[in-house]
Amino acid sequence: MKNIKRTPEDNKTAQLENEVARLNKKITKYEAIELKQNRFGLVWLDVPEAFEDDVENKLPILEEVPKLAINNKDGKPTHLLIEGDNYHALTCLNYTHKGKVDVIYIDPPYNTGSDGFKYKDKRILKEYPDGTEVPVDHPLRHSYWLSFMKKRLDLVKDLLSERGLIFITIDDNEMAQLKLLCDSIFGENNVEVMIWHKVGDDSGRLKITYRFRREHEYILVCYKQKEKTFFKKFLTDRNYKNEYTNPDNDPRGAYKQGIISNSDIKSNPKGKNYYSITTPSGRVVMRQWRVNKEEFRKLDKDNRIYYGKAGDSIPSLKVFVGEQKETTPTSILAELGTAKSAGIELEELMGSKIFNYPKPVSLIKHLLKISSEKDDIVLDFFAGSGTTGQAVSELNNEDKGARQFILITNNDEVVNGKKHKIMADICSPRIKKVIKMDGGSTKYFKTAFVGKNNILKADDSDKIELAHNAGGMLAIAENTFDQVEQNNYWQVFESPKQYTAVYFREEFSKFDDFVEKVKKLKKPAVVYIFSWEKEFEFNEFEDDKNIKVKTIPQPILEIYKQIYNLV
């Protein structure tokens, strides 16, 4: 190859070209940073949260407390109460309920400066004392709250089914910030807003105000996929001004005279259902009707049309006592209980005032009516006094539904100046009263931790300990809550439809006995078997189509690792 000698000018040109390329690369980098820093959205100081005993990334499990269960053999759903920090409980549910939850309702702390919201800042504390309330003038007030909420909303997004959604109540203190946070997590197109009129005629003495009285709160509605979520119409009493009477002695009883046509002025001769009706007196009424002519004839034949005492009035529809109409949900929620009525109904149920600012059962029940199906799973991870559980139970009784609720709350709260164990002293006793009235069963779990290392550094001994203690979580995952057998090698749980059998030991000296036990089960079974790998074939069950085999603990660890990488 011929050697070409470079001149000083060539070298200078090459240096300039290299410098231009370097500067162009630097400009591109700065443009990318500028675009990232100046994009539209919510920006705050993301403050890491300190947990007691530094358990944030340890291996969480759910341990059952059998003595606190309520067991009824009435064929109604078994509901779950989980005591513990909702971050850890939601981590466990990401294994047991990923993609299974249909409706979530939460009433988080509003960050008012006096609502008990506490946050432990991991950056500046060497030890983790009891959390202190975040005052309204704290410079990191919004950052603390947003860091707290984001961590939990990130966890629940994966819990939602394809048509799942979450209702979040909030007031003006964090509404603007929460809306932008939810936009970033769920997508702007998947977030909408309702308004709850929380003050009614029962409000009593009014607070002094120099501008205007706030009578509302907000409910943010966040969808997993809005295009797959549809709200249902609901039945309401017909709001006609006239009284219930029975002027023609109808044997079906008293009725109101409901509107069944538009007025002469509002009737459109070219519109739908424009036709004439002849009254018993011979008067011809030509206008636009709210039913077609065939439907009108059927109603008239059934004596559902009233023409007045003389038989010559504008026809009206007889609406009897107890008959309701279908109503389309609206964004304004009124006449669904108030802040005061919610406190009164809880006090009447429990016999004393034990909780500040509960939400009305009627409000949550309305949200469930329009959004849930009869066999849905409903989650509340700020369960407080347990209003959501009562709403689910009452709605099940009304429409013969089988919805299952999962309530998560911590066990440390100050109410009316006294320390309460909020799950043990407030939520669980309330649910016991509700279950006594409406039926069903409950299982009580606590969050706990296993292993010596964090999630990413889990060693073989940690995996063994996780497998040995995963039975409660596996029972939850398969909805089989009745433990029918346990020894040092396996557990068996049962529901009316199936069994869950768990071989949790890493040694297989008793595995043949376990296989024999499983093959004798008379219902379909999900079998969990200890394996060092995520997937492993167990030939012992390959010919039985009623047995489905899964492994532990690696799939649980995989879920936990995904969560760890999110936060």
Report pLDDT digits (tens) over 419-433.
Answer: 668 898 889 999 999
Q: How far apart are CA 38 and CA 28, in angstroms?
A: 15
Strands 332-333 and 59-64, by their bridges, are unpaired
pLDDT for 111 beyond 70? yes
Residue type, 264: D
- CA 353 to chain CA centroid, Å, is 26
Angle ∠(125,90,350) on CA atoms, nearest 5: 95
What is the dihedral angle through the alpha carbons of 351, 352, 354, 357, rounded to the nearest 10 degrees?
100
More confident residue, 341 or 320: 320
pLDDT for 413 beyond 80? no
Tell me how far apart the terminal alpha carbons of the chain are, to the nearest angstrom: 58
Q: How far apart are CA 138 and CA 379, in angstroms?
A: 32
- CA 272 to chain CA centroid, Å, is 42
Average pLDDT over residues 444-449: 94
How confident is residue 544, by pLDDT bands cut at 50, 70 and 90? confident
Predicted pLDDT of residue 118:
78
Predicted pLDDT of residue 138:
79
Predicted pLDDT of residue 348:
76
Poorest-confidence range of 113-117, 271-275, 399-403? Answer: 113-117
The pTM for the full model equals 0.80
Strands 274-278 and 377-380, by their bridges, are unpaired
More confident residue, 543 or 530: 530
Burial of 327 (0-12, 13-18, 19+ CB in 10 A): middle
3-state SS, one letter per residue, for 285-300:
EEEEECCCHHHHHHHH
Predicted pLDDT of residue 1:
42
More confident residue, 162 or 336: 162
pLDDT for 135 beyond 80? no
What tokens does 520 get?
């004798």
Say if CB 238 and CB 245 are below 8 A apart.
no
Average pLDDT over residues 548-560: 93
How confident is residue 517, by pLDDT bands cut at 50, 70 and 90? very high
> Radius of gyration (Cα) for the chain, nearest Å?
31
3-class secondary structure, 415: strand
- CA 563 to chain CA centroid, Å, is 19
Report the sign of the C-alpha dihedral through residues 509, 515, 520, 523, in that order.
positive
Average pLDDT over residues 546-553: 93
**Nearest CA to 380 among 370, 399, 365, 396?**
365
% of the chain beyond a pLDDT of 90: 59
Diameter of the chain by CA atoms? 119
More confident residue, 272 or 118: 272
Strands 191-197 and 332-333, by their bridges, are parallel
The backbone torsions φ and ψ at residue 547, rounded to the nearest 5 degrees and listed phi first, read -120, 125
Helix axes 86-96, 471-478, angle to 10 degrees: 60
Q: How far apart are CA 500 and CA 324, in angstroms?
A: 45
Predicted pLDDT of residue 2:
47
Angle ∠(357,87,339) on CA atoms, nearest 5: 10
What tokens does 46 get?
């993301």
Q: How far apart are CA 489 and CA 485, in angstroms?
A: 11
For the stretch 210-250, pLDDT in tens is: 788 788 899 999 999 999 999 988 776 666 667 889 999 99
For the stretch 283-310, pLDDT in tens is: 999 999 999 999 999 999 999 999 999 9
Residue type, 397: N
Predicted pLDDT of residue 535:
75
Burial of 564 (0-12, 13-18, 19+ CB in 10 A): middle
Predicted pLDDT of residue 567:
46
Predicted pLDDT of residue 500:
97
Predicted pLDDT of residue 539:
83
Say if CB 168 and CB 153 are below 8 A apart.
no
Say if CB 110 and CB 169 are below 8 A apart.
no
In the numeric block, the tokens 């979450």 are attached to 166
Q: How far apart are CA 169 and CA 160, in angstroms?
A: 18
What tokens does 505 get?
């030991």
Mean pLDDT estimate for the chain: 87
Predicted pLDDT of residue 335:
81
3-class secondary structure, 99: coil
Q: How far apart are CA 129 and CA 225, in angstroms?
A: 41
Q: What is the DSSP string of 331-356?
A: SEE-SS--HHHHHHHHHHHHSS---S
Predicted pLDDT of residue 141:
84
Predicted pLDDT of residue 128:
46
How confident is residue 541, by pLDDT bands cut at 50, 70 and 90? confident
Predicted pLDDT of residue 78:
96
Q: How far apart are CA 357 and CA 567, in angstroms?
A: 31
How confident is residue 358, by pLDDT bands cut at 50, 70 and 90? confident
Burial of 454 (0-12, 13-18, 19+ CB in 10 A): middle
